[in-house]
Chains A and B, each alone.
Chain A
Amino acid sequence: MKKRGPDLSRRNFLKGSVVGAGALTAGVGTGLFMPGTAQASLPSLPLPYCIDSAGNPSTTPNGTNVPVLDPDDVRVMTWWYYSSQGKG
Chain B
Amino acid sequence: MQSVVSGLMQGFKAAFAGDGTDWDFIPYDMYMYGGGGIGGWASLCGIPNGAAALLNLIGLHGALGSDMMGEYSGSEWPRAELADIYHNADPNYGPTSAGYSGIWSQAKTPIPDDEVLAHTISYSPICHVSISKWCYEAGVDLADTSPYGFGHKSDRCGKVAAGIAAYTAELINHWAINGASADPYSIRADTADCKVCHTTGSTVHGPAANGKMDCTECHMPNTYHTLGDFFIDDVWTEDGSGNLKTSFSPGDPIVYKVRFAILGAGSFFVRTIPDQTGEIIKTTSGVWKKAYNNSETCMSTVTTWSWSSTVPSNATQKGKFVVNLQVADTPTGPLLIERGREVYFSVS
Contact = CB atoms under 8 A, between A and B. Distances in A.
Interface residues of B, number: 62
Interface stretch (B153-161, B194-202, B283-291, B299-307): B153-161
Interface in A30-77: 42-51, 57-59, 61-63, 65-77
Interface residues of A, number: 39
A50 to B, nearest CB: 4
Interface in B146-186: 150, 154, 157-159, 161-163, 165-170, 172-179
A70 B176 CA distance: 13
Contacts of A62: 176-177, 179
B107 A79 contact: yes
A74 B163 CA distance: 9
Nearest to A62: B177
A87 B46 CA distance: 11
B2 A87 contact: yes
A84 interface: yes
B2 A49 contact: no
Contacts of A63: 177-178
Most buried by B among A51, A65, A87: A87
A73 B162 CA distance: 10
A46 B100 contact: no
A84 B108 contact: yes
A84 B106 contact: yes
Contacts, number: 171
Contact of B103 (A44, A59, A80, A88): A80
A5 to B, nearest CB: 24
B252 to A, nearest CB: 34
Nearest to B46: A88
B26 interface: yes
B6 interface: yes
A65 B178 CA distance: 9
Contacts of A59: 58-59
A81 to B, nearest CB: 4
B44 to A, nearest CB: 14
B294 to A, nearest CB: 24
Interface stretch (B12-20, B268-276, B312-320): B12-20
Interface in B103-127: 103-104, 106-108, 110
Nearest to A64: B177
B310 interface: no
A13 interface: no
B142 interface: no
Nearest to A65: B176
A80 B56 contact: no
Counting from the closest, the 10 A-B pairs by CB-CB distance are A46-B59, A78-B7, A61-B179, A43-B22, A88-B35, A67-B173, A68-B15, A50-B176, A83-B108, A82-B3
Interface of B: 1-4, 6-8, 10-12, 15-16, 19, 21-23, 25-26, 32, 35-36, 46, 56-60, 81-82, 85, 90, 92-93, 100, 103-104, 106-108, 110, 150, 154, 157-159, 161-163, 165-170, 172-179
